[in-house]
Amino acid sequence: MEEWKKCNWRNLQGIQGENEKLSVILLPELGGKLASLYYKPLKIELAAQNRRDRYDLPSLDADFSRYDASGLDDAFPNINANKINDMGNVMIYPDHGEIWSSRFSYAIRKDSIHLSYHSKRFPYLYQKEASLGEDAVTLHYRITNTEQKPFPCIWTFHGLFRYEEDMVLVFPESVKQFINVLEDLNADEQRGYPSVVVPPANSNAMMKYYAKGRVDTGTCGFYYPKHKLKCILNYDPVKLPYLGIWITAGGYRGDYNCALEPSNGFYDDIEIAGKNGCLYYLEPNQPLEFTLKIQVNEDPLLPYHT
């Protein structure tokens, strides 16, 4: 039976959803961050955790690197901070967008939690609903343009998951090549492999890739061999056609986490995505609506492709 209720999570108030297999905790004061994704049968936490015993609340224009990188966030309307001139309208996009640093209003329903945020800087209303199935948490999004002209934006799932040295990142069979987008790293492109092993814990590694081109299958995930556990993301690849991969094995501030980042722009930066012809425009009277499902279950065999 699914149940949603208020709880305390470190120094903040959280909202906990729970059933027989899963417990999840969302933080409305931090953009609806999914701070905990706990799989009960194996007593394992899958969301990367804040290494401190408290969360600091950032301001709207905060530097993301000065705050904890943990849990499953949404990056909107951008990732990289920049300033653009859109047909004479100067727009300043903050670091990692503004969802992660914003306080959401919320309402607890019988079988879900509804969160919402009305931007004061940009023309959008952001709505997010979380619900639980037997072995999955489903996040449903609806983003509405509140003005009468197109709004340039990028939505990216910024979900930071548990790092383990023997874990494997699993991609659709159609994904054959990745592009390194961290220019200061001389990392090899992965060719011909639908699965990628993470760097070792003592490597001090940090890497960011994108699957080359549009990805036509909205399924990817993580496999943890030690636990025989898989965590699979399912989404609409028409709405989210690009896929980023982030891994830090101590290379970023000593953090250890991994992220698979479905996105509707390539990549990260409003200006770069525009130059690449891959920038999304949120049209008036045409809300962006999509669902991301995170499924967790046990599997004795490595799923070499999804």
User: Which pLDDT tens digit goes with each residue over 268-294?
Assistant: 999 999 999 999 999 999 999 999 999
Burial class (CB in 10 A: 0-12, 13-18, 19+), 54: exposed
Q: What are the pLDDT digits (tens) for 74-105?
A: 999 999 999 888 777 888 999 999 999 999 99
Tokens (6 digits) for 216: 């036509």
Residue bearing the bigger pLDDT, 162 or 83: 162
Mean pLDDT for the chain overall: 92
pLDDT mean over 8-31: 97
Predicted pLDDT at 173: 86
Q: Over 70: is that where the pLDDT of 112 sits?
A: yes
CA distance 62 to 294: 29
CA distance 252 to 217: 30
- Closest by Cα among 204, 207, 209, 205 to 191: 209
Whether 177 and 189 have beta carbons less than 8 Å apart is answered as: yes
Cβ neighbours of 182 (radius 10 Å): 13
Q: Rounded to 5 degrees, what are φ and ψ at 272?
A: -65, -45
Q: Over 70: is that where the pLDDT of 185 sits?
A: no
Q: Over 70: is that where the pLDDT of 194 sits?
A: no
pLDDT mean over 49-66: 92
CA distance 61 to 2: 37
Q: Over 70: is that where the pLDDT of 53 sits?
A: yes
Q: Over 80: is that where the pLDDT of 183 sits?
A: no
Beta bridge partners of 124: 145
Predicted pLDDT at 189: 46
User: Domains along the chain?
Assistant: 3-298 (2.70.98.10)
CA distance 15 to 32: 9
Look up the pTM and report it. Answer: 0.93
